[in-house]
Amino acid sequence: MDLKTTTLWSALSTIIRMLAGIISVKFVAYIVGPSGVALIGQLQSFISITNSGANMGMGQGTIKYLSENRKDKIKHQKILSSSFFVTVFCSIIISTVILVFYNTIGNYLFKTNDFDFIIIILALSLSFYAVQQILTQALNGYQEIKKLIAAKIVTSIIGLIFTLLLVYIAGVEGALLALVITQIIGFIVLIYFSLKSSWFKKEMFFSGYDKETLKRLFKYSLMTFVSVILLNVRQIYLRDYVIENLSANAAGHWQAIWKISEIYLTVITFSLSIYYLPKLSSVNDKQTLKKEIFKGYKLILPVVFVLSILMYLFRDLIILILFSKEFNPVRDLFLYQLIGDVLKIASWLLSFMMIAKAMTKEFLITEVVSISLFLILSLCFFNNYGVLGLTYAYAINYAIYLIMMIVLFRKLLFKKHKPITV
């Protein structure tokens, strides 16, 4: 599937998932309010940390090497089996740690121990999500895009039903529980859609690990692991900082603008992960690589730009549809958040090169600098401008990150390359 076809399929998925997300967000926001939304954001960030730890961040590497070795079944077996072994092993360790310290974790995230049972259920369900990640990566790496998209659509619909029921019955507790249960639902759905795939065989997962394969995967493990952990720790810290220094409602408003960005950019990020990354991974000719990058800019960036303008023009309607009157202050956060969104996608079109080509050192340096810079800028601007300052920091940070990417890949972008001839 090419980029246009992939984008169309992901657009179909996104429309359905977006509708499910809109209904879910609206219902949750109406029931729990801004302070509840802030708590949900805290749990979402913590789930991202645990899930990345369970998979050791090897997802992108698994996709890359499956894409590169499409006709080599022996290598496929080594890749999937090694990834599966590490994922199950790490998920058991992390689950054990969470179960031991659930009280401390719950109190830090929610400022109360009323939701400790959520942390316990999360620990017990972690292995399900870890295996779900492996299946997602396999479908992606084998380019079974239709199955992957169908699985995501079904998961979204079933997850929506559970969310509505649980939030209606139990309010904030129900919303938090729904986040955890959706992981188990995703596991079951992906098992169903993977059953008929030719690669879905026992030996592909239970053949132990291959040392050489693990060395290659751990290059990506370090990149993704550091990125996800630092990013979500930063988000948890900043939400906590806003709650402590302003209010839980203010933290909920900031979480709301992040959720809006997440919803409308889903089609873009999904297309990048299921087409763009595998494509960059499989191309070695610099001239072809350059064309692929510029193709991405020509197709994706105008879409993001138009979407961001529409989002700004209809921001009041969006708040009304997605949330409630309690979220009206969010309208002031749109401008710089949307500018940051455009700059983020523009920079990601280049930064994916570091993942595709296993540029571990460059990725870690730029990622740590970007995450740290955003934290510093956020604290500085928040102390002067409140929650609005966090959107200033977001836009400025991605402007600087885009400049870093252009400088890093300047030779590839601006130098003429001769195509490889056979």
Q: Which two tokens stand for residue 192?
A: 């169903």
CA distance 169 to 166: 5
Cβ atoms of 377 and 393 closer than 8 Å: yes
CA distance 331 to 338: 12
Q: In 3D, which of 32, 79, 12, 6 has the Cα closest to residue 323?
A: 32
pLDDT < 50 stretches in the chain: 420-422
CA distance 223 to 29: 34
Q: Which two tokens stand for residue 214?
A: 């693990």
DSSP state of 332: G
DSSP characters over 291-313: HHHHHHHHHHHHHHHHHHHHHHH
Helix (H) or strand (E) holding 325: none
CA distance 337 to 381: 14
DSSP state of 163: H
Please indicate, yes or no, if residue 420 is contained in any of the structural domains: no
Cβ atoms of 322 and 25 closer than 8 Å: yes
CA distance 26 to 321: 7
- Residue whose entry in the numeric block shows the structure tokens 């098992």: 191
Please indicate, yes or no, if residue 213 is contained in any of the structural domains: yes
Please indicate, yes or no, if residue 303 is contained in any of the structural domains: yes
pLDDT for residue 7: 62
Helices marked H in 111-210: 116-141, 145-170, 172-194
Please indicate, yes or no, if residue 383 is contained in any of the structural domains: yes
Q: 20: which residues sit within 8 A by CB, 6+ positions away?
A: 156, 157, 159, 160
pLDDT for residue 274: 66
Helices marked H in 272-386: 277-282, 286-313, 315-322, 334-356, 360-385
Please indicate, yes or no, if residue 225 is contained in any of the structural domains: yes
Q: Which two tokens stand for residue 272?
A: 């990048």
pLDDT for residue 4: 62
Taken in order 23, 29, 31, 32, the sign of the CA dihedral is positive
Q: Which domain holds residue 249?
A: 3-414
pLDDT in tens, 254-299: 999 998 998 888 767 766 776 677 677 667 778 888 888 888 888 8
pLDDT for residue 239: 93
Q: Count structural domains, the chain.
A: 1
Please indicate, yes or no, if residue 422 is contained in any of the structural domains: no
Please indicate, yes or no, if residue 375 is contained in any of the structural domains: yes
Please indicate, yes or no, if residue 110 is contained in any of the structural domains: yes
